[in-house]
Amino acid sequence: MKMYLELYASLMPLLPPGNSRFRREIKVADNATVQDVIDAYKIPADLAHIVLLNGKFVCDDRQQCKLNPGDVLSIWPPVAGG
Amino acid sequence: MSWTKKILRVNLTEGTCTPEPLNMEWANDYLGQRGLATKYLVEETDPTVDPLSPENKLIMATGPLTGTMASTGGRYSVITKGPLTGAIACSNSGGFIGNEFKNAGWDMIIFEGKSPSPVYLYIENDLAELRPADDLWGKSAWEADEMLHKIHQNPELKIAVIGRTAENGCLFSGVINDLHRAAGRSGVGTVMASKNLKAVAVYGTQGVDSLDNPEAFDKAVADGKEVLAENAVTGEGLPTYGTQVLMNVINSVGGLPARNMRDVGFEGAEHISGEAMHEPRPSDGKPNLTTNGACFGCTIACGRISTIDKTHFSIRDKADQKQYQGASGGLEYEAAWALGADTGVDDLDALTYVNFVCNEDGFDPISFGCTVAAAMELFEAGKITTEDTGGIELKFGSAEALVAVTEQLVSGEGIGPDIALGSKRLCEKYGEPDLSMSVKGLEFPAYDPRGFQGIGLNYATSNRGACHVRGYTIASEVLGIPVKTEQTDTDGKPELVKAFQDATALVDSAGICLFTTFAWGMENIAPQIDAACEGDWSVERCLEVGERIWNMERIYNNAAGFTADDDTLPKRLLKEAIKSGPTAGQVNRLGEMLPKYYEIRGWTPEGVPTSETLARLGLD
C-alpha cells in the first residue's frame, strides 16, 4: 500500500531522493507497522523521538501501531524551542 | 553568596546615582533577578501607579548565577509595571550585559523619577553617572549602540538601549542589548523612554568572586554542563536548528495558529521553518542561516544569525543601509510565527528583514506581528481602510504590506501610530475588541490554546498576560519533557501549569536561561544555587521560593485592579472550534481547569490567595 513518510530536521538526509522538502510517498506491506517504517529507513531508535501518525502522537507500542493506505507518518529527532 | 551585595539607585529627576547595600533578607526569600526585583518594586511603588509616570520604577536585575561559570549564567531582567498591560512586567534577556553588571560590581539598578532631558547611565566599575544623551535621542538602538562605542572607545562596553519606537510611545517596545538580544515583552522599553533614559552602558573588570562554596560550585556547574551536553535537545537539537525547528512540529500536531488565530494550521509553515533556514537560496547559493550563536557562558548556543537575500525586495534598494546587508540576529520561532503564520506571510526573507528592524529599533516581534494580524483582519472586515494605512493593502499573506507597516511603525506614519497601541487598544479603537488575541493586553505566542489545553490555562493565568515562558507546558504537551501529556486533555493540567509556573519563577530569578530546563530539573539547578549562595538551597526551598514569587506577582496584579475576570482567553479561542486537522473540533476548555487551578494554588474562587496561603509562603 502507499502512504507518506515525513522526516524532519537532522533526519532529512534519510529520505530517499524526491522533490518535496520533507515528504515522500512510499510503499509498505499491507500489514506494516510504524516500527517497520522506522526500521526500513534506518532511523536510529533514539532519534525517532516525536512520532506522529496523521498528526497524532504515537506514544505507545510502535510495533503494534498498524498503518493504513494514505497515512502520513512524521518523525523528528529530539528538538525543542520556545 | 555570589552577590556583590551592592545595588545602584538612580534618581533621574535629581540626576543622582547612589550605591546602597542589597537587602539580603529579601535575597534569601526571593533569590534574585525576577523575584528580588519584583520585591523591591512591590515595596517601593503603588500598584495603581501610571506605568509611564515618573512614580513608576524600572529595575535592571541580575541573579546569583549571573556572571558565574554556570552554563547560560549571563541573564538579566527588566522589571517594572508594564504599560501594555498595567500588570507586573518582567522581561528577561541574554547576551552579554547581565554578566557585565556583575563584573562592574552591581547586582541591580533601580531607576526612579524622570530626567528633565535625555540621558544615559555610564558605569565603569564603581563609577556610575548620568550623561547627556541629546545626540542619541531619535536614533535607532543600533545607531545609538555604535555612537556609544565610539564615544567611549571601548569595544568591551556593553549596552542596553531603546530605539525610536519606545521614544514614540509604542507600547510594546523593549530594551535591546548586544544589538540583537532583547528584554522584549510587555513594553519595558516604553517605560525606559518615559524616563528620558536612552541607554545603559557598562564596563567592569571585577568578576564574581563571592561564591559561598567554590569547590562545590565547580562540581555542580560541571555536572550541569555534562547533562546539557549529553542531552539530545540541548546538546544537538537546539544548536543545530534553534527554536525554529518547532514550526513544522507545532503545525503538524494541530496547534499552529494562523491569520490572527482565525485558523489553526498554516500552509506556508514549511517555507518559514528552521529547516528552510538551512537551505541554499537560488540567488547566491547561501542559506538564510549564517551560523548559530551563544550568549554569555552558554553551552547550548541556540541563537540564530541570519543574512537577508540581497536581491529580496525588502533590501534591494537599501544598498546604502549596511545594517541590512550583513549577518545579524535571525528568526526565532516566536518571531517567525507572529510575523509569518499569524499574518499569513510565508516569505522567509521578508520575515528576517522585519526581525532585523525589530532589533534595530527595539520592539517586540510577537506583539507587533499579532497587532499587524489584528489590523489585517480589521482591514479585511472593512474597519480599517487604505485611508488609515496610507494606501497599504493590508491583506493577510502580503509580505509587501508587512514590510511597509513595519517601516510605518518606525517612522510614525500611516497606520504606524495605531499599530503602536498593541492589538487590544487597536481593536477597541476600531470597534472590534474581540479581534484582539491577547490576555490582559499582552498578545499570544505561537501555540493555540485550543490545540493545547495546558498552555491555554497558563496564558489565562500568567501574571504578565499571554506569555508562554511563564509556564511552558508545551514541553510536556508536545515535546515529552519531563513526561508526555495529552495535548487535548484537561485532566492534570492545573497541576502541570502550577508546577511549570513555580519552577520558571525560580529559574528566572537565578540568572540562568529557561532553555536549560529542557535537560535540567530542579535537582540540577538547586545544587548550583546552593553552592553559590549562603544557606541551604534545597529543591524544596527553590520550589517554595518560586511559588512565593508567583503569589507576590499575583497580589501586585490584584492590587493593580486585576480580578479573576481577567484570567480568561479571547472568545474566539473559547467558542470557535478548530476547523480541520488533527485537533479539529477543539476549543479551549478553560472552565474545566481554572477552578481546580485556583484550588491547588490556595486561592479563593475569586482568584485571591487565602490568608493560609499567604502565611505558608511568608507573604502575610
**CATH 3.60.9.10 residue window(s) in chain B:** 6-203
**CATH 1.10.599.10 residue window(s) in chain B:** 448-616
CATH classification code of B256-439: 1.10.569.10
ipTM: 0.97
**CATH 1.10.569.10 residue window(s) in chain B:** 256-439
Among the partner residues A46, A52, A80, nearest to B238 by beta-carbon distance:
A80
Per-residue model confidence (pLDDT) at position B332: 96
Q: Do A76 and B249 touch (CB under 8 A)?
A: yes
d(CA B427, CA B423): 6
Residues on chain B touching A49 (C-beta within 8 angstroms)? 232, 480
Per-residue model confidence (pLDDT) at position B210: 87
Residue B143 CB burial class (10 angstroms; 0-12, 13-18, ≥19):
middle
- pLDDT of residue A60 exceeding 80, the answer is no
CATH classification code of B448-616: 1.10.599.10
> What are the Cα distances from residue B34, in Å, to B3, B85, B433, B508?
15, 18, 31, 6
Among the partner residues B238, B469, B581, nearest to A55 by beta-carbon distance:
B581
Residue window 12-41, chain A: list those with CB within 8 Å of chain B: 12, 21-22
Per-residue model confidence (pLDDT) at position B582: 96
Per-residue model confidence (pLDDT) at position A59: 72
The three cell numbers locating residue B186: 510587555
**Over the stretch B582-610, which tens digit does the pLDDT of each residue have?**
999 999 999 999 999 999 999 999 999 99
Furthest-apart CA pair in chain B: how many Å?
67
Q: Quick check: B151 contacting A, CB < 8 Å?
A: no
Q: Do B475 and A80 touch (CB under 8 A)?
A: yes
Run of H or E residues at B144? helix B141-152
Per-residue model confidence (pLDDT) at position B423: 98
Which residues, given as ranges, of chain B have pLDDT below 70? 1
Per the DSSP assignment, residues forming a β-bridge with B159 are B201
Tell me the three state secondary structure of residue B159: strand
- The one-letter amino acid code at B230 reads E
Half-sphere exposure for B227 (CA within 13 Å, toward CB): 19
Per-residue model confidence (pLDDT) at position A81: 86
> What are the Cα distances from residue B148, in Å, to A67, B211, B312, B346?
62, 33, 31, 37
Residues on chain A touching B468 (C-beta within 8 angstroms)? 82
Q: Are A13 and B278 in contact (CB under 8 A)?
A: no
Residues on chain A touching B246 (C-beta within 8 angstroms)? 79-82
Per the DSSP assignment, residues forming a β-bridge with B329 are B305
Q: Are B169 and B418 in contact (CB under 8 A)?
A: no
Identify the CA nearest to B258 among candidates B332, B331, B184, B339.
B339
> What are the Cα distances from residue B353, in Å, to A44, A82, B138, B349?
37, 21, 21, 6
User: Could you tell me the pTM of the whole model?
Assistant: 0.98
Per-residue model confidence (pLDDT) at position B301: 96
Q: Do A82 and B472 touch (CB under 8 A)?
A: yes
B313-316 long-range contacts, CB within 8 A, separation 24+: B313/B350, B313/B399, B313/B400, B313/B403, B314/B349, B314/B350, B314/B353, B314/B354, B314/B399, B314/B403, B315/B353
Identify the CA nearest to B55 among candidates B122, B112, B132.
B112
Residue B30 CB burial class (10 angstroms; 0-12, 13-18, ≥19):
buried
Percent of chain A with pLDDT over 90: 89
> Per CATH, which fold does B6-203 belong to?
Aldehyde Ferredoxin Oxidoreductase;  A, domain 1 (3.60.9)
Question: Cell 536548528 identifies what position?
Answer: B241
Backbone angles phi, psi at B5, to 5 degrees: 60, 30
> What are the Cα distances from residue B422, in Å, to B28, B52, B444?
37, 16, 12
Tell me the three state secondary structure of residue B350: helix
Q: Are B557 and B463 in contact (CB under 8 A)?
A: yes
Q: Do B237 and A77 touch (CB under 8 A)?
A: yes
CA distance A53 to chain B (A): 10
Residue B127's contacts (CB-CB under 8 Å, 6 or more residues apart) are none
Q: Do B246 and A81 touch (CB under 8 A)?
A: yes
Q: Are B330 and B304 in contact (CB under 8 A)?
A: yes
The three cell numbers locating residue B549: 514569587
Q: Exposure pattern of B448-460 as b/e (b: 16+ CB <10 Å)? A: bbbbbbbbbbbbb
DSSP class of residue B439?
E
Per-residue model confidence (pLDDT) at position B96: 98
Distance of CA B123 to the CA centre of its chain: 25
Q: Are A50 and A34 in contact (CB under 8 A)?
A: no
Backbone angles phi, psi at B571, to 5 degrees: -55, -40
Residues on chain A touching B238 (C-beta within 8 angstroms)? 79-81
Q: Are B529 and B546 in contact (CB under 8 A)?
A: no
Among the partner residues A46, A49, A55, nearest to B252 by beta-carbon distance:
A55
Per-residue model confidence (pLDDT) at position B168: 97
Handedness of CA B151, B156, B158, B161 (dihedral sign): positive
Per-residue model confidence (pLDDT) at position B323: 96
DSSP string, B188-220: HHHHHHHTTEEEEEEE--------S-HHHHHHH
Per-residue model confidence (pLDDT) at position B250: 98
Bridge-based pairing of strands B303-306 and B289-293 is antiparallel
The three cell numbers locating residue B367: 506583539
**Over the stretch A18-57, which tens digit does the pLDDT of each residue have?**
988 899 999 999 999 999 999 999 999 999 999 999 999 9
